[in-house]
Amino acid sequence: MDDLSGLSCQASEYSSLSGISKVGSLKIPQSCPFLTSREEFEFLTHLVLRNSTGDHASVLLQDHLAGAVRFAHNQIIQHVDTHKIRFLVTIGCGRKHASASTTDLTAGAVRGTLQRAEYLARMAPEDPECLPAPAPQHYGLWPTFRPEILEAGVSGRLHLAREAIEQCQTEKFQAA
C-alpha cells in the first residue's frame, strides 16, 4: 500500500475498525483487538483476589494505545503507533507491602506476578507509615481517547497530515 506521502508502507491490521458502541457519553470500540476488555480485566482481578494469601491485595491495569504522525518541511517524516500494557499487583501483609508487575496477561504470568508480590511483601521491612487499605472504590469512565481518531486508523491520520501539508504549501508556508 502507498501512503499519502507516496512512500511504500505496510498497511496496519488496525487501519479500519467497525462497530463503535457507546457507554454513557464515552464511545468504546466493540471489537478492539488490542485493548484489554472489561471481562478480561475482571477475570484477571478475580484470579489475583481469589488466590492471594496476603491481608489485602490491589491490582492496577494500564493499557495505553497511542498513535502519532509527525511532519516537517512539507512531508511526513514519521508515523508511530504504540501499545503499552502493565498489570501491577500490590500485596499487603500486616505493615509490610510490595508490588510486582508484568506485561504478560496470561493466567500463568498473573499468578507468577502475584507470587512475586506476596514473597516480596513477606520479605519487606515493616513500614512505620503504613495506613490500612482503603475501602473498595468505584471510578467513572473518562473520555481519554478520541473515537474519531481511532476510527480513522493509520491511513486516515496520514490523510489528515497530508491535508495540513497541502494547505501550508498553498499558502507558501512550511508545515512542521
Kindly report the pTM of this predicted structure: 0.62
Measured CA to CA, the distance from residue 4 to residue 166 in angstroms comes to: 11
The answer, yes or no, to whether residue 5 has pLDDT greater than 60, is no
Where residue 155 falls among pLDDT bands split at 50, 70, 90?
confident
Mean pLDDT of 140-145: 74
C-alpha cell recorded at residue 122:
513477606
82, 65 contact by CB (below 8 A): yes
pLDDT in the model for residue 134: 80
The answer, yes or no, to whether residue 160 has pLDDT greater than 60, is yes
With H, G, I as helix, E, B as strand and everything else as coil, classify residue 150.
helix
Mean pLDDT of 87-94: 94
From the candidate CATH numbers 1.10.275.10, 3.20.20.370, 3.30.2290.10, 3.30.365.10, the one assigned to the domain spanning 20-127+143-170: 3.30.2290.10
